[in-house]
Amino acid sequence: MKTLSKIIFKIIGWKITGSFPNIDKSIVIFAPHTSYWDGFYGKLFFMQLNINYKFLSKKELFRFPLNYFFKAFGSIPVYENRHMVNNVVSLFEENKNLHIVLSPEGQIAKTDHWKKGFYYMAQRANIPIVLGYLDYKKKEAGIKGVIYDTKNINSVMQQINKMYKNVQAKYPEDFAFDKRFS
């Protein structure tokens, strides 16, 4: 699959930038998320990294017959409840090597605030946040950086806003930073 994803990336003219950090566990936020194509490009990107990862995806995608596809795709359904953060933290406790990938916007429609579950997952599991991205203007997927200190949500969100500042979404008009932290 790694070779196939490299070939597809090359054919469609995309490249990978940055390298995945040498860490065993992380929350990987992947932004901007303004199109269903983001999942396709993101999957091609992660297939090339040689890491153990799972995607968090909205529960509505797990209806028959698509549920089989998304489970094979490495997705875990997200049920918006107070237990989701604890469920992901438990996954980290059960696995020596795992990276959970999600979109902090929580949807493809424009929003002026990001869901903070990713922050609480990283903080409670005591793991870093890796900032993955897709830039449609440059046709590249990659890693922008890693945030190891997750003690202060204001600091984390300000770092995130700064790192994604020049990243071009497929639909730029639908991408917005969390305005509470700009």
What is the C-alpha separation between 106 and 116, in angstroms, rounded? 9
Q: Which CATH number applies to 2-181?
A: 3.40.35
User: Can you give the pLDDT of all 182 residues of the chain as single tens digits?
Assistant: 889 999 999 999 999 998 999 999 999 999 999 998 998 899 899 999 989 899 887 777 768 887 777 777 777 777 776 688 999 999 999 999 999 999 888 777 787 778 888 999 999 999 999 999 999 999 999 999 999 999 999 999 999 999 998 999 999 888 887 777 76
Residue 30: strand pairing partners: 132
The tokens of 48 are what?
């090339």
Q: With beta carbons less than 8 A apart as the criterion, state whether 47 and 2 touch.
A: yes
Retrieve residue 32's tokens. 């901007």
Domain layout of the chain by residue ranges: 2-181
Residue among 165, 127, 102 nearest 25 (CA): 127
Instruction: Give me the sheet containing 98-102, strands edge to edge.
Output: 15-17, 140-147, 129-135, 25-31, 98-102, 53-58, 75-78
